[in-house]
Amino acid sequence: MTDESQNLLVPNEEYLKAGIHIGTKFKTKYMENFIYKTRSDGLSVLNITAIDERIRLAAGMLSQYAPEQIIVVSRRENGWKAVKTFGKLTGCRVFAGRYPPGILTNPALKQFTEAKVMIVTDAWPDRNAVQDAMKIGIPVIGLCDTNNQANNIDLVVPCNNKGKKSLGLFFFILAKLYFERRALGEFMGKLEDFSEE
């Protein structure tokens, strides 16, 4: 291992165990810079150092906002436990499942939210949320696998955005960094709270 691996947010083994670096057999030009290599079976593997750097950037961006200004969206079921736990610990607004159209753009709705930043676990299934964010001009942090387009995403975080363990680890690290950077006291979250074995 290089010296770089010593400076990661979690040990390299944690990232590997969660499969955060495992991409898909399809890759887009948007994601080429984040791909470490393509295996002989055609599966693309993401660069762990790049993932780590982008998680730091995402945490830095998020920590500029109060919890009530942050909205987290995960249409895909694999992200529900991770985002719900993230929301419970940080106080951010979470939509696990169907994103109700217009909650950012229609003040007449009961669920209307005045968010200042959005995180989506996958820009494709969460595209309605991304469209809403664009309409009101708030930045979007998007978790992107090797097969994602990065259209309308302000900060791309490369990672396996389909795996429960991968999403669990991402939101665990993000919650921990958010706590530290906003000085919210001791972080009580555990990795197992964010993902199923």
Q: Which pLDDT belongs to residue 6?
A: 63
Tokens standing for residue 56: 């730091």
| Residues in Cβ contact with 180 at an 8 Å cutoff, skipping those fewer than 6 apart | 187
* Domains observed in the chain: 3-182 (3.40.50.10490)
Q: What is the pLDDT of residues 31-70, one digit of tens each?
A: 999 999 999 999 999 999 999 999 999 999 999 999 999 9
Q: Which pLDDT belongs to residue 128?
A: 93
Q: Which pLDDT belongs to residue 144?
A: 94
Predicted TM-score (pTM) of the model is 0.93
Q: Which pLDDT belongs to residue 2?
A: 44
The alpha carbon dihedral of 52, 191, 38, 157 has a sign of negative
Q: Which pLDDT belongs to residue 115?
A: 96
| Residues in Cβ contact with 65 at an 8 Å cutoff, skipping those fewer than 6 apart | 116, 117
Dihedral, 53, 59, 6, 122 alpha carbons, nearest 10: -60
The alpha carbon dihedral of 176, 182, 188, 194 has a sign of negative
Q: Which residues, given as ranges, of the chain have pLDDT below 50?
A: 1-4
